[in-house]
Each structure stands twice: as structure tokens, then as C-alpha cells.
């Protein structure tokens, strides 16, 4: 058997221990796989983040929305009344009735209107949400309204206006009133601070519910929540 020279053995040893060469194609493929994994992780993170925000906003609360309005100019200009008959969208008169609008927004933040029933429904006149006490007020409004309608030809209040009764406001209360017809003059009873811009059909549907002799709905109808919006 022929003897291998030391120099040949050294060369064979170096060849065995030398690192295996990796092709350029393999390196490119590895980099692409790593990049795809990174992009996939980023996309997954963004998806779940958005879904979490959407989920928290789906059960919308006025308190959460109000926290986002840090400046006076950023106060919401619209309110969506979620009623048992459907949605009523209202434009708020921030400039015309700023104090009343501020009070309304504050009460929305506190959940004051959640579960508020429409205590009086007077067809072709108003629907009123709030305390069901004081049953004579509705009759008083109707008698004065009919009397003034015979004398006044240019009504100041149009249909589908949103307001609150002055007596409750002065006593730290707050009722919601939506007119369903032009009202001759309710300035001594009502402070208008908004108007319905969408959902007039819902107002009319509420107006058609059956009531007793005191204009109280025989079946429950009311507000289940209020959503505040900066823009519509």
C-alpha cells in the first residue's frame, strides 16, 4: 500500500474541515421568508389593534366620546338618539344655545338619557322624554298652543326641533322635547337647542303610539342611549 505524503494529508484535512458554501439563491430565499414573517406579524398586530378599538367603540358611550373632545371647538355638534323605534340624528345649536348644549353634553356623559322614556306623546304637537310627573303640563301646552295658533300666522318653532322645558332646566332637571308640527310660540315654555336632520320618520312613528287621556304612551317607548358625533 502506497504511503501518503504529509503534504497531501494536510490538504485533505483542510478540505474536510472547510465550511460548506451556501448558494446565493438560498440566502435570498431565507431573507424573503424572514421578511414575510415580519410583515405577517406587523399585519396581525395592526388587525387586532383595530379590532380591539372597533369592539370598544361598538358599544358606544357618551362618556368615552367626551374624553376625546379636549377643546371647546372640538365639542360634538351632533347627537344620535337611539330609541326603541329607531335612530334620530340631531344637529346641536352650539352657538345659538351654548349653555343648554353644554348641559346636554354633560348629562350625556353621565348617562342621564339612557333608559329615559317618552312620558308624553301629543300627536301633531310634541313628544316629550323625561319625568312622567306633572300630567297637567301637556294639557296646558295644548290649550295655549291652540289659542295662539288662532292669533299667530308666522310660527317661531318649526317641526322636528329639539328643546328642553324651562321649568325643569331651572330646577336642575332636563327633559327632551321634539316638536312634531310647527308650534306658534313656545318661547315661555321651551328652549330650542337643536333640530332633527335625520330620523323624522322615527319621530312620526313615536307620535303614532297609542296614549291614554293624559297623553301617556300605553306601551313603553323611550331612549336607549345617545351617541355624540363631531361630524356626520
pLDDT (tens digit per residue) in 161-211: 999 888 766 667 789 999 998 876 666 778 899 999 999 999 999 999 999
Q: What are the residue ranges of helices labelled H in 59-161?
A: 62-67, 98-109, 136-149
The residue ranking higher by pLDDT, 154 or 71, is 71
Q: State the Cα–Cα distance between residues 224 and 113, nearest whole angstrom.
A: 8
| Model confidence pLDDT, tens digit, residues 7-62 | 555 555 555 554 556 677 777 777 788 888 877 787 777 766 655 444 444 344 44
* Total-model pTM: 0.63
Fold of 62-229: Cyclophilin (2.40.100)
For 125-135, how does the pLDDT look when each residue is reduced to its tens digit (9 = 90+)? 899 998 655 44
Amino acid at each position: 500500500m502506497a504511503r501518503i505524503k504529509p503534504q497531501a494529508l494536510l490538504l485533505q484535512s483542510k478540505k474536510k474541515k472547510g465550511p460548506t458554501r451556501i448558494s446565493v439563491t438560498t440566502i435570498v430565499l431565507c431573507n424573503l421568508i424572514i421578511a414575510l414573517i415580519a410583515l405577517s406579524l406587523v399585519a396581525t398586530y395592526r388587525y387586532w389593534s383595530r379590532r380591539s378599538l372597533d369592539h370598544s367603540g361598538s358599544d358606544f358611550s357618551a362618556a368615552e366620546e367626551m374624553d376625546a373632545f379636549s377643546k371647546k371647538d372640538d365639542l360634538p355638534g351632533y347627537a344620535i338618539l337611539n330609541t326603541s323605534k329607531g335612530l334620530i340624528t340631531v344637529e346641536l345649536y352650539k352657538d345659538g344655545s351654548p349653555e343648554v348644549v353644554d348641559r346636554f353634553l354633560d348629562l350625556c356623559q353621565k348617562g342621564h338619557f339612557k333608559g329615559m322614556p317618552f312620558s308624553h306623546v301629543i300627536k301633531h304637537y310634541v313628544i316629550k322624554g323625561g319625568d312622567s310627573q306633572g300630567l297637567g303640563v301637556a294639557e296646558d301646552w295644548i290649550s295655549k298652543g291652540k289659542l295662539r295658533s288662532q292669533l299667530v300666522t308666522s310660527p317661531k318653532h318649526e317641526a322636528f326641533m329639539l328643546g328642553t322645558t324651562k321649568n325643569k332646566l331651572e330646577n336642575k332637571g332636563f327633559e327632551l322635547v321634539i316638536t312634531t308640527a310647527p308650534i306658534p310660540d313656545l318661547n315661555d315654555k321651551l328652549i330650542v337647542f337643536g333640530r332633527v336632520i335625520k330620523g323624522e320618520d322615527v319621530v312620526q312613528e313615536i307620535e303614532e303610539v297609542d296614549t291614554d287621556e293624559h297623553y301617556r304612551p300605553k306601551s313603553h317607548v323611550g331612549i336607549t342611549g345617545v351617541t355624540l358625533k363631531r361630524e356626520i
